[in-house]
Each structure stands twice: as structure tokens, then as C-alpha cells.
């Protein structure tokens, strides 16, 4: 039952409640989250951990006039439930449904579109500065987790906020977790502080004792500030110009409400350090916060997933196993992840090679240049990174790695369509932004055997390389034998056809391509390398094939198909090239297989492309006479 929650559609309804009712509402929200997400899946742990904080924020801040900017935004489901989206909450992360992250187009309460970490303070600072410049009286708060606080961008923003002396509240939601347990020196200091709650009790006891001695409290306060500086990171924030308050219990509304009420009215940069528990109120999630960071539909009674895995391993696991095999054979190999140990398949690698595993936190730029430094000293670093998050370190890839031609291997996961996470997490662009980079070898495995061999290929190169693969199960081939290097720039003819047409696939499309090739007796080629292209094979094909269809799970703009088309245009303009890939758009959220079909990246789409060959060539439009 959620009789209180049923009365709340918007924050003004919430603010009409007596504060004493809020703990009951918190419990109803937790029950609602568990029930709904047990059906749909989603980011469970972080949302259970921010129930009270979200209530307190919408209760004390005059939203939407006041601005709340969520960092990453995966923890903003309660925010959505309280801002007019309870009825549609069951559609979250599904095609046509609510986004899993705050999205400006979705609600005026969603002040900034997020999904990638560590942007909230910058955006909130921009809003605070603009509001002040326009004479708008409004409170602005960024809510950032301890994981997101490990990114350099967060400190760039703190530094600037202190410089501007901006009216900005930063709320650090510290649950000692990223997706994995949080990493970094700052996180360790936070943990000691939280563990050191004795610090607060000791201070309160001393305060009471000294209050009876005139003047003693001032001396003690100064001593305390010094002492606090010795053991709390609050000093770090205070050095950046922030008034640090905390740590406070992020589940205690009696603490949160007055503190947020006071901080809202204060001026200048303030930072409230809030301590929460990821997964709060649901024992399985409290006990295994990493496992319950992102969940598929589950049994709310036990937390067990409704559907078990099974079938061929995901490419992520194929990569993780191959990295272990290559590292076992070559002690120079290291594995580096920017805070995505589980998602990138490195859990077992860390267990096998703890001294060669590096989780650098949410710090993609640092991850790449750290790898560059390792490579300078003869190591063979492998950076395991999602395509979408690699976007954040593009300059490091070019400037620190490619220009110096350093042997860093990029194992790019979640390439192409990601599904429920939607546009902010799409891996649509990596072929386009990597192809122009000199010195870089760019590979698209078509199956698990290719993936293993391409890892070995990259590790054998003296310069940078990248292999990219989707969030999907592998095709299920036997992977006997150790990963072994391929001949760089050589494609694999999978089917010899005599119909004068060919399907050239970049990635795991051989199955649907073979299906589509039957009807017209088309040739099927596993291209394997986007860079360098197998131009010798393309030259050979062009002599006997008058229509080539390229297939890639990447935006067409600047993609692999364009490389093929450019080469053939220079060779024989009469050869027709049809490119299948993603449009010039951000791919919406939805179910991955359905989305692949929507864009013709399946057997039906390839068949249609081959059939179109008989269609008359589009007549070039007459250029209008000047
Ligand atoms: C730039 C970037 N890198 C990685 C991620 C993947 N990611 C999503 S949430 C998360 C952990 C965030 O930890 P924290 O900010 O502490 O939030 P919590 O889940 O603990 O509430 C990570 C690494 C991301 N969203 N953005
Ligand atoms: C919020 C965030 O960025 C991550 O939790 C991301 O959703 C993980 O994606 P996967 O579920 O594909 O690992
Ligand atoms: Mg955290």
C-alpha cells in the first residue's frame, strides 16, 4: 500500500505534508521502488540509498524554481516519482518510456541531462552564475556521489566555484561505493572519517564539558578546526573556498531537513557531506551493493534474478578470459579500467593479477595517460573501456598515445547500440572518431575467436590499437587454442558468391549476412579491420562484384562503410556501395535486438539492401544552371 505516496504528484504536494510524515513516505517509496524495479530492472541500489535525501531536497528546496542537478542521474528515480512521473514509472528505460536518467525534455524538474558522471557541479555552477547575473533569486544544488567525485572534472568545477564565490550547494552523497567499492585516496579519507564517527561524538562531549569554562570553547574550536584538518577531507573543500558541513546521516530526516533548510539560505559555495548506504532497506542490495547497482527483473522476496543467464558468454566475458590468458603468457600485460571492473569483465583478472590490475576511478582521461606512461616503460597496458566513456578521453588518445605511437590496446565494450541506457550511453561513434587517428589499428571482431585473436594482435603491435564489440552474447564458437595475432589488414572471405554482390561486415554480423546472402548468392566478407582496410581484397572484389553492401553498428558518418566507399570511388566509380549503419541521430533507449532491426542491421535489412541493387541507380540531380 502507498496511501501517502498516492497523494503526492508533485513537490508542492510533498511540501504540504507535515515533516513528521516523511519517514512513512520514505518507506512507501522504498516499497514502490522494489516492487516496480523487480518488474522492469534498473539502477536499484543507488535509488534505495537516496530516498530520504531526495525527499528532504524537494521538501526544503522550492523546485523547480530552485535547481537540483543530479550527477550521473541513475539515483534520480525517487526524484522522478515525486515530480509527476509516478504513473509512467513502469516504463522506465524502455522504448518510448521514461529515461533512466534526468532528461530536460522529460520534465521541468530535470534541470540537466546526465548519464555520464561528474558533470553536475559544472552544470549547477553555470546555472548559479547565470541566475545571479540575471538577478534571479534561486538556490542551486548539485548532488554528486563519492564515485563521481573521483573525476577530475568535479574538481575543475569546485575550483571554479570557489573562485567565483558562487551561491552553490554541493551535496556529496557518500556511500563508499562506486559500482565497485570506491577507490582513491580521497575515498579512503572519507571512509576513515565515516568510520571515525567517534570524531563527532568526541567533539560533542568536549563541547558540553568546555561550555562551563568561559573562553575555553573558542580555543577548543580553533584546536578542533586544526584537528579536523588533520583527519577530515573537509579541509580539502574548505581550501577550495567551500564551507564544508558534515558528515551527516543521509537517512535521518530529522538531521537532513534543518541542515538543508539552513544551507539553502546561506550564500557562497557550501558542501554538505552526506553519508548513505547503497541499497538501503533491501538486505540483498545492502549486502551486495555492486551486484545490485544495476539489476534485471528480480524476485523482490529474495533478490534473485527472474531470468538466469545461460547460452554463449557475452563478449565482455570472452574479453576478460582472453586478457587472463594473454597476461599469463606475458607479464608485461596490465588491465586498466575507469571504475567499470564488473562491466568490463575484469573481476577475475584482478583476482589472478592483483598487481597488474588498476581501477583508476571515474577518471577516463587519467586512465589513458596512465596507460601511456606504462607503455613508455615497456608494459603492454590494455584499457578496458565502454565506447561512450572513451569519448571523454579523446585528446589523451590522440595526444598522449597516438602521436607517440605507444602500444596501448583499447578493449572497447558496449560499442554500438546499448539498449536501456539510451542516448547518453550509446556506443555509436567510436569507429568514426577513431578512424581518422594516425598510427591506430582499428578492429571489429565478428565473433569470440576474432576477439581473442584481435587482443593478441593488438598486444603484438608496437603502436596503439582498438577492438570494439557490442553488449551482446557471443555467437558460441569453440575457442580452442590460445589467442594468436592476425595478419593486420587482412579480411576473411566467409562465403564465395557468384551473384556479383557482396556483404562486407564490420562486427558480429556473419550469421545474418549468410542468411541474407543465400537469395542472391552474394559473397560474405568478415572485414575484421577498419584500419587498415583490406584494400587488396576490395580491389579483387570490385573486378567481379558490382554492388557491395557494408554493415556496421556505428553511425554512418565517418564510419567503416565510408572508408570502403571512398576507396572504391577512387578505384572504380562504377561499383555501387550501399552502407548499412546507424543514422545521424542519437539512438533512443529500447531493446537492443529490436533497435538493430529498426536500423536494418539484421538479415532482413541486409536482404533488402541486396534486392535494392536491381533498383535503378538514383539519377544524379542536374545542377541548377547558375
Ligand atoms: C564518465 C562515466 N564513467 C563511468 C560511468 C559508469 N558509472 C555509472 S554510476 C557509476 C558509479 C557512481 O558512483 P557514485 O557517484 O558514488 O554513485 P552511487 O552509485 O554510489 O550512488 C559509474 C562508474 C559513468 N556513468 N560515467
Ligand atoms: C549509470 C551507468 O552509467 C552505468 O551503471 C551503466 O548503466 C552501466 O551499463 P551496463 O549495465 O551496460 O554495464
Ligand atoms: Mg557512491
* pLDDT confidence tier of residue 479, bands split at 50, 70 and 90: confident
Cα separations in angstroms, 237 against 118, 203, 528: 16, 20, 49
96 and 195 assigned to the same domain: yes
607 and 551 assigned to the same domain: yes
Q: Cβ(421) to ligand 2 under 6 A?
A: yes
Q: What is the DSSP string of 368-388?
A: HHHHHHHHHTT-EEEEEEEHH
Average pLDDT over residues 237-242: 94
With cell 539512438, the residue in question is 587
Structural domain count, the chain: 3
Residue 364 annotated as lining a ligand binding site: yes
Residue 115 annotated as lining a ligand binding site: yes
Q: Is the pLDDT of residue 209 over 70?
A: no
Distance from C-alpha of 220 to C-alpha of 207, rounded to nearest angstrom:
8
Q: Is 392 part of the annotated catalytic residue set?
A: yes
52 and 169 assigned to the same domain: yes
Q: What is the three-class DSSP state of 427?
A: strand
Residue 159 lies in a domain: yes
Q: Which atom belonging to ligand 1 lies closest to the Cα atom of 343?
A: 6
Catalytic residue among 86, 270, 278, 280: 278
Query: Which residue from 616, 604, 545, 544 is spatially nearest to 580, judged by alpha carbons?
Result: 604
Alpha helix locations (H) across 461-559? 510-520, 535-544
Residue 117 annotated as lining a ligand binding site: yes
Residue 620 lies in a domain: no
585, HSE (Cβ side, Cα atoms, 13 Å): 8
81 and 184 assigned to the same domain: yes
Q: Are 263 and 269 within 8 A, CB to CB?
A: no
* pLDDT confidence tier of residue 158, bands split at 50, 70 and 90: very high
Catalytic residue among 364, 552, 553, 562: 364
Q: Are 404 and 396 within 8 A, CB to CB?
A: no
Q: Is the pLDDT of residue 571 over 70?
A: yes
Q: Are 127 and 111 within 8 A, CB to CB?
A: yes
The pLDDT score that the predictor gives to residue 614 is: 62
85 and 216 assigned to the same domain: yes
The tens digit of pLDDT for each residue in 363-422 reads 999 999 999 999 999 999 999 999 999 999 999 999 999 999 999 999 999 999 999 999
Q: Per the structure block, which three cell numbers stand in for 622?
A: 542536374
ipTM of the complex: 0.99
Distance from C-alpha of 422 to C-alpha of 93, rounded to nearest angstrom:
8
Ligand nearest to the backbone CA of 589:
2
Q: What is the pTM of this model?
A: 0.94
Q: Is the pLDDT of residue 619 over 70?
A: no
Cα 106 to chain centroid, rounded: 20
Domain that holds residue 536: 492-612
E strand map for 81-235: 140-145, 168-174
SS3 content of the chain, % helix, strand, coil (to 5): 45, 15, 40
Average pLDDT over residues 189-218: 64
Q: Which of 409, 433, 468 is the last residue of a domain?
A: 468
Backbone angles phi, psi at 298, to 5 degrees: -140, 165
Distance from C-alpha of 100 to C-alpha of 97, rounded to nearest angstrom:
9
585 and 545 assigned to the same domain: yes
E strand map for 186-287: 243-249, 269-275
| CATH for 559 | 3.40.50.920
The tens digit of pLDDT for each residue in 141-156 reads 999 999 999 999 999 9
Residue 463 lies in a domain: yes
Q: Which of 267, 287, 307 is the last residue of a domain?
A: 287
Residue 539 lies in a domain: yes
323, HSE (Cβ side, Cα atoms, 13 Å): 32
Q: Is the pLDDT of residue 183 over 70?
A: yes
Q: Are 323 and 333 within 8 A, CB to CB?
A: yes
- Ligand 1 center to residue 215 CA distance, Å? 46
Residue 541 lies in a domain: yes
35 and 183 assigned to the same domain: yes
Q: What is the three-class DSSP state of 70?
A: strand
Average per-residue pLDDT for the chain: 94
Q: Are 607 and 519 within 8 A, CB to CB?
A: yes
With cell 575515498, the residue in question is 187
The tens digit of pLDDT for each residue in 94-136 reads 999 999 999 999 999 999 999 999 999 999 999 999 999 999 9
Residue 302 lies in a domain: no
342 and 252 assigned to the same domain: no
- Ligand 3 center to residue 60 CA distance, Å? 23
Residue 362: its H or E element? none
| CATH for 440 | 3.40.50.970
Q: Cβ(145) to ligand 1 under 6 A?
A: yes
Residue 59 lies in a domain: yes
Average pLDDT over residues 561-581: 96
217 and 334 assigned to the same domain: no
Residue 296 lies in a domain: no
75 and 164 assigned to the same domain: yes
* pLDDT confidence tier of residue 23, bands split at 50, 70 and 90: very high
55 and 102 assigned to the same domain: yes
334 and 422 assigned to the same domain: yes
Q: Is 278 part of the annotated catalytic residue set?
A: yes
Q: Are 232 and 188 within 8 A, CB to CB?
A: no
Query: Which residue from 111, 539, 41 is spatially nearest to 295, judged by alpha carbons?
Result: 41
Q: Cβ(339) to ligand 1 under 6 A?
A: yes
The tens digit of pLDDT for each residue in 590-617 reads 999 999 999 999 999 999 999 997 644 4
Amino acid at each position: 500500500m502507498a496511501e501517502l505516496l498516492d497523494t503526492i504528484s508533485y513537490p508542492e504536494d510533498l511540501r504540504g505534508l507535515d515533516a513528521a510524515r516523511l519517514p512513512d513516505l520514505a518507506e512507501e517509496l522504498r516499497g514502490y521502488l522494489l516492487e516496480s524495479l523487480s518488474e522492469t530492472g534498473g539502477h536499484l541500489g543507488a535509488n534505495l540509498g537516496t530516498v530520504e535525501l531526495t525527499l528532504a531536497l524537494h521538501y526544503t528546496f522550492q523546485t523547480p524554481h530552485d535547481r537540483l542537478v543530479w550527477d550521473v542521474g541513475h539515483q534520480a528515480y525517487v526524484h522522478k516519482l515525486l515530480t509527476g512521473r509516478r504513473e509512467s514509472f513502469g516504463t522506465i528505460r524502455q522504448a518510448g518510456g521514461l529515461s533512466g536518467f534526468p532528461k530536460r525534455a522529460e520534465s521541468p524538474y530535470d534541470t540537466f541531462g546526465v548519464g555520464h558522471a561528474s558533470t553536475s557541479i559544472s552544470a549547477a555552477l553555470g546555472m548559479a552564475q547565470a541566475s545571479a547575473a540575471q538577478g534571479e533569486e534561486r538556490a542551486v544544488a548539485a548532488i554528486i556521489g563519492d564515485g563521481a567525485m573521483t573525476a577530475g572534472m568535479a574538481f575543475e568545477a569546485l575550483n571554479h566555484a570557489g573562485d567565483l564565490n558562487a551561491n552553490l550547494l554541493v551535496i556529496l552523497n557518500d556511500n563508499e561505493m562506486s559500482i565497485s567499492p570506491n577507490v582513491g585516496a580521497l575515498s579512503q579519507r572519507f571512509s576513515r572519517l565515516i568510520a571515525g564517527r567517534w570524531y563527532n561524538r568526541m567533539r560533542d562531549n568536549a563541547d558540553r564539558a568546555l561550555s562551563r569554562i568561559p573562553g575555553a570553547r573558542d580555543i577548543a574550536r580553533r584546536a578542533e578546526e586544526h584537528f579536523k584538518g588533520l583527519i577530515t577531507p573537509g579541509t580539502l573543500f574548505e581550501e577550495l573556498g567551500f564551507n564544508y558541513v558534515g558528515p551527516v546521516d543521509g537517512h535521518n530526516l530529522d538531521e537532513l531537513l534543518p541542515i538543508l533548510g539552513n544551507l539553502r539560505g546561506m550564500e557562497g559555495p557550501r558542501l554538505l557531506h552526506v553519508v548513505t548506504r547503497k541499497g538501503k532497506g533491501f538486505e540483498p542490495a545492502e549486502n551486495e551493493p555492486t551486484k545490485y547497482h544495476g539489476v534485471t527483473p528480480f524476485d523482490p522476496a529474495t533478490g534473485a534474478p527472474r531470468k538466469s543467464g545461460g547460452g554463449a558468454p557475452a563478449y565482455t566475458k570472452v574479453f576478460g578470459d582472453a586478457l587472463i590468458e594473454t597476461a599469463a603468457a606475458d607479464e608485461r600485460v596490465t588491465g586498466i579500467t575507469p571504475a567499470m571492473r564488473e562491466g568490463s569483465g575484469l573481476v577475475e583478472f584482478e583476482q589472478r593479477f592483483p598487481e597488474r590490475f588498476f581501477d583508476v576511478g571515474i577518471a577516463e582521461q587519467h586512465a589513458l595517460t596512465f596507460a601511456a606512461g606504462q607503455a613508455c616503460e615497456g608494459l603492454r597496458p590494455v584499457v578496458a573501456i565502454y565506447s561512450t566513456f572513451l569519448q571523454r578521453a579523446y585528446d589523451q588518445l590522440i595526444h598522449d598515445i597516438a602521436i607517440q605511437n605507444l602500444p596501448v590496446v583499447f578493449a572497447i565494450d558496449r560499442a554500438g547500440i546499448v539498449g536501456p541506457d539510451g542516448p547518453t550511453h550509446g556506443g555509436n561513434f567510436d569507429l568514426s572518431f577513431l578512424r581518422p587517428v594516425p598510427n591506430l589499428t582499428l578492429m571489429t571482431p565478428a565473433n569470440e575467436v576474432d576477439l581473442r585473436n584481435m587482443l593478441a594482435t593488438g598486444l603484438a603491435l608496437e603502436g596503439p590499437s582498438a577492438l570494439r564489440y557490442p553488449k551482446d552474447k557471443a555467437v558460441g564458437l569453440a575457442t580452442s587454442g590460445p589467442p594468436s595475432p592476425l595478419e593486420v589488414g587482412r579480411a576473411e572471405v566467409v562465403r564465395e558468391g557468384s551473384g556479383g554482390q557482396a556483404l562486407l561486415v564490420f562486427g558480429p554480423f556473419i550469421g545474418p549476412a549468410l542468411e541474407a546472402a543465400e537469395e542472391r548468392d552474394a559473397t560474405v566478407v568478415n572485414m575484421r579491420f577498419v584500419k587498415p582496410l583490406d584494400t587488396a581484397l576490395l580491389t579483387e572484389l570490385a573486378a567481379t562484384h558490382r554492388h557491395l553492401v557494408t554493415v556496421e553498428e556505428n553511425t554512418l558518418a565517418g564510419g567503416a562503410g565510408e572508408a570502403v566507399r571512398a576507396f572504391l570511388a577512387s578505384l572504380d566509380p562504377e561499383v555501387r556501395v550501399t552502407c548499412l549503419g546507424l543514422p545521424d541521430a542519437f539512438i533512443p533507449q529500447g531493446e537492443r535486438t529490436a533497435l538493430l532491426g529498426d536500423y536494418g542491421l539484421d538479415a532482413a535489412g541486409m536482404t533488402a539492401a541486396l534486392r535494392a541493387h536491381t533498383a535503378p541507380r538514383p539519377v544524379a540531380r542536374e545542377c541548377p544552371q547558375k
